[in-house]
């Protein structure tokens, strides 16, 4: 009986949450028609120098006694005062961007807005650092992402790309645009190649007497198909398209890294950072943390992140998901005690 009572209570709570969400949804739907903001998100700016300073000060507070800490703070205050008075000590600006790529390069939307923003202020005396992580994906998606980075180079602003884990295929297409590529020793680099695979179940369908009609207008509108019967001519055309794309990929990499022996590295292989350095796929070995903490001593670091505004359905979905998950966790914890 206790179990039934707890279960009924759970259902009542869930029903209450659902009803509340429906009310909120109705209210928001009504407000959406009364005018929408044109902006799709908001640019967030974080001063990384303050972040590094806070880390250092917390460590100093934990290691030094009060007298030592007081003397150190006094010394630091004097140094900062001298730095403010010395106009010649104006620091260079470094704009830090992040790109965590999936197969569709979904982060491109945020990247394009971040680049548009920084190009309104950045000068050739500044620097852009991109922390890049991607194993590649769709050709057209990564082509657009790479084109966004090319805007930085075209503006004459130095671009440094830091790779901690992986920059392969479309990821390396983006990385090669950097004037300097810094790779962690065991990051995965390369995969300058093109791959496509299409399953075909035509023989299985024939076995069960199922016919599939594939109609096209244009000789090569459909080269390979999943359901229909593939032809040798179609396969040859499909391979030809892959070869053309690969050649364009190689030419793109060569444009930005002419020092490469492109035919030796454009085999689709990948190399770890140390081996990639020997093949001139990267310029230095090191982590993004190492590079940025060093630059923080010489420049002002600003991390840019364009946070896209989530749609109404996404926000309500996240709220509902959290409420249901919380309800189930609560129920299972009670059942555990009941047992």
Which structural domains are found in the chain, ordered by start? Answer: 41-64+89-191+269-308 (3.90.226.10), 194-264 (no CATH)
For position 165, what pLDDT does the model report? 97
Residues taking part in catalysis: 169, 221
Tokens at residue 27, please? 């209210």
Measured distance CA(167)–CA(170) in Å, rounded: 8
Q: How confident is the model over 4-30, as pLDDT tens digits?
A: 556 556 556 666 766 666 665 665 555
Q: Which of 137, 136, 117 is nearest to 128 (CA)?
A: 117
**How would DSSP label each residue in 105-139?**
-TTHHHHHHHHHHHTTT--TTSEEEEEEEE----H
Are 19 and 274 in contact by the 8 Å Cβ rule? The answer is no
Query: Tens of pLDDT along 91-129?
Result: 789 999 999 999 999 999 999 999 999 999 999 999 999
Q: What is the pLDDT of residue 33?
A: 47
As a whole number of angstroms, the distance between CA 127 and CA 136 comes to: 25
pLDDT tens track for 188-220: 999 999 999 999 999 999 999 999 888 889 989
Its pTM stands at 0.76
Beta-carbon-side half-sphere exposure of residue 244 (alpha carbons within 13 Å): 6
Quick one: 173 exposed, middle or buried, by C-beta within 10 A (0-12, 13-18, 19+)? buried
The list of the chain residues with pLDDT below 70 reads 1-15, 17-39, 76, 79, 81-90, 310-339
pLDDT at 168: 97
Q: Which two tokens stand for residue 230?
A: 């593939």
Phi first, then psi, for residue 36 (nearest 5°) are -120, 150
- Count CB-CB contacts under 10 A for residue 198: 10
Angle of helix 108-118 relative to helix 139-154, nearest 10 degrees, comes to: 10
**Both ends of the chain: CA-CA distance in Å?**
13
Q: How far is 95 from 43, CA to CA, in rounded Å?
A: 13
pLDDT of residue 332: 46
User: Which residue, 238, 241, 211, 239, is CA-closest to 227?
Assistant: 211
Closest CA to 177 of 191, 193, 157: 157
């Amino acid at each position: 009986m206790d179990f039934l009572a707890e279960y009924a209570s759970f259902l009542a709570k869930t029903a209450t949450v659902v009803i509340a969400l429906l009310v909120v949804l109705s209210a928001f739907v009504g407000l959406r028609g009364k005018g929408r903001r044109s902006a799709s998100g908001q640019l967030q700016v974080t001063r990384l120098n303050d972040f590094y300073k806070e880390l250092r000060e917390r460590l100093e507070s934990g290691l030094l006694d009060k007298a030592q800490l007081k003397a150190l703070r006094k010394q630091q205050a004097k140094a900062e005062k001298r730095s403010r008075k010395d106009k010649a000590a104006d620091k260079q600006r470094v704009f830090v961007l992040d790109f965590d790529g999936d197969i569709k390069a979904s982060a491109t939307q945020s990247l394009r807005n971040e680049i548009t923003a920084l190009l309104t202020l950045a000068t050739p005396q500044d620097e852009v650092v991109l922390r890049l992580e991607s194993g590649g994906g769709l050709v057209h998606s990564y082509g657009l992402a790479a084109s966004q980075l090319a805007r930085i180079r075209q503006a004459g602003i130095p671009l440094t790309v830091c790779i901690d884990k992986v920059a392969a295929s479309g990821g390396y297409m983006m990385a090669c645009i950097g004037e300097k590529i810094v790779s962690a020793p065991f990051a995965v680099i390369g995969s300058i190649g093109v791959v496509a695979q299409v399953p075909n179940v035509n023989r299985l369908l024939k076995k069960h007497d199922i016919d599939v009609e594939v109609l096209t207008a244009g000789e090569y509108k459909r080269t390979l198909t999943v359901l229909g019967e593939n032809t040798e001519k179609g396969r040859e055309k499909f391979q030809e398209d892959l070869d053309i794309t690969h050649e364009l990929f190689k030419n793109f990499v060569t444009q930005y890294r002419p020092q490469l022996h492109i035919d030796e590295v454009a085999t689709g292989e990948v190399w770890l950072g140390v081996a990639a350095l020997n093949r001139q796929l990267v310029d230095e070995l090191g982590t993004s943390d190492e590079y940025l903490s060093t630059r923080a001593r010489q420049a002002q670091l600003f991390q840019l992140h364009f946070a896209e505004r989530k749609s109404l359905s996404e926000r309500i979905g996240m709220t509902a998901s959290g409420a249901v998950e919380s309800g189930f966790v609560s129920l299972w914890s009670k059942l555990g005690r009941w047992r």
